Amino acid sequence: MNRLTDVSWEDFSSLPLEEKSPYLSRGDGDGTPYHTLFAQQFDRPLLERLCALANRIRFINKSCEGAMFLKSVLAHKRAMLYFSQPSSRTFLSHLAACQILGLTTGSVRDAATSSEFKGESNEDSVRTFSSYFDMIIMRSPKQGLAEKMAWELSNSSRPIPILNAGSGKDQHPTQALLDIYTLIRSFEMKGGVDGRTVVFCGDLLRGRTVRSLSYLLTKFDGVKQIFVAPKELQVPDDVIAVLKEKGVEHSLSSDLKAAVKVADAVYMTRIQDEWDESKGESAKIDTSHFKFGAEELALLGPDGVIMHPLPRRDEISTVCDHDPRAMYWRQMRNGMWIRAALIAAVFGYEKTIMECGY
């Protein structure tokens, strides 16, 4: 078994992502994560298990007795939500997921209200949280922070799991999980996700959800990926390198309408201008052709789905909001269930829930 205690930070951090995964698992032999940091930790069987667990949790939660049972599962655990970047959905859905399972929670949503304001390092803050909590759910603008903290905590006298709720421009593994869960549910009665065409559109350069989801889609057979963006915001080379290595059919385009005609799912994203290196840099890019409105809706097939990690600006017109193919509202609720499934699995309660009598 690979353990983070057996590897130096230097050796661990220089491994390719897929080789890091075994170090981050619970060690049950089935890949269940202990720390959840990257999409690369999920293979197809694990994705399917987590989706089944999420379905089970949402079913059990329908009855009062079932909901009370779920609330007892992790009532002995506490989770810290440490969000030093803005968030609505990811924060609230993790909070609600904890509440479903009975975890009590604490939170920091603004470094200005924590000792970081007095100059404490992120590392010391995380060590502090580990004194009081049993899990840290964290979002940070710093790309490698969650990974570094996972290594630090595993090598400390109080190891607790880290769940990455968004790291820099890099990864957002639980968003990718909820996106996959939404795709699986959307195509459940329509032949499944294998063989589908997924179109990504918007700021593909800086959107961390795109990198994580593009990777998870490689776990399905024959899923084609089309990246539609202005050339300045096209998908980065590392994402394409993964697709090439795995032999995944993909293409780059600037023609959203043409892509929508062949799409089973269209994944819209907003312009991530908080990452602009100079003020107003993104505003100079012509993004007018990268918006989904009534014309695109008319071109989308009857079984097609429109997705968005949200928040949206104007990249999906509100005329789409009541169309049955608009999945962005459902994505939010799916996120709560799949995050509850992940948290239960991280603490080793997958079987307890799957096999309970409710």
Q: Sketch the per residue contact string, 45 through 84, with ligand NCD: x for CB under 6 A, - otherwise.
A: ----------------------------------------
User: Any contact of residue 125 with ligand NCD (CB under 6 A)?
Assistant: no
Cβ distance to ligand NCD smaller for residue 154 or 212: 212
CB 166, min distance to ligand NCD, A: 5
Residue type, 51: C
Q: What is the DSSP letter of 231?
A: G
Q: Which residues face 227 on adjacent strands?
A: 200, 252
Q: Is 308 helix (H, G, I), strand (E, B) or coil?
A: coil
User: Any contact of residue 309 with ligand NCD (CB under 6 A)?
Assistant: yes
User: Any contact of residue 270 with ligand NCD (CB under 6 A)?
Assistant: yes
User: Any contact of residue 90 with ligand NCD (CB under 6 A)?
Assistant: yes
Backbone phi, psi, residue 150, to 5°: -60, -45
Q: Nearest 5°: CA angle at 339, between 90 and 96? A: 65
Among 172, 196, 211, 219, binds ligand NCD (CB under 6 A): 172
Q: Nearest 5°: CA angle at 171, between 78 and 254? A: 145
Known catalytic residues are 89-90, 118, 139, 172
User: Any contact of residue 209 with ligand NCD (CB under 6 A)?
Assistant: yes
Cβ distance to ligand NCD smaller for residue 161 or 309: 309
Tell me the pairing of strands 78-83 and 224-228: unpaired
User: Any contact of residue 218 with ligand NCD (CB under 6 A)?
Assistant: no
Least Cα distance to 293 among 271, 326, 331 occurs for: 326
Contacts of 124 (CB under 8 A, 6+ apart): 115
Q: What is the DSSP letter of 133?
A: -
Least Cα distance to 210 among 289, 136, 265 occurs for: 265
Peptide bond into 159 cis (omega under 30): no
CB 298, min distance to ligand NCD, A: 26
User: Any contact of residue 310 with ligand NCD (CB under 6 A)?
Assistant: yes
Cβ distance to ligand NCD smaller for residue 84 or 175: 175
Residues 222-261 that bind ligand NCD (CB under 6 A): none
Which two tokens mark 225?
């990926």
User: Any contact of residue 89 with ligand NCD (CB under 6 A)?
Assistant: yes
| Dihedral (CA of 227, 197, 185, 301) sign | positive
User: Any contact of residue 208 with ligand NCD (CB under 6 A)?
Assistant: yes
CB 268, min distance to ligand NCD, A: 10
Segment near ligand NCD (CB under 6 A), from 101-109, 146-154, 267-275, 295-303?
267-275
- Exposed/middle/buried for 62, CB within 10 Å: 0-12, 13-18, 19+? exposed
Q: Sketch the per residue contact string, 174 through 193, with ligand NCD: x for CB under 6 A, - otherwise.
A: -x------------------
User: Any contact of residue 173 with ligand NCD (CB under 6 A)?
Assistant: no
Binding residues (CB under 6 A) for ligand NCD: these are: 89-90, 166, 172, 175, 208-209, 269-270, 272, 309-310
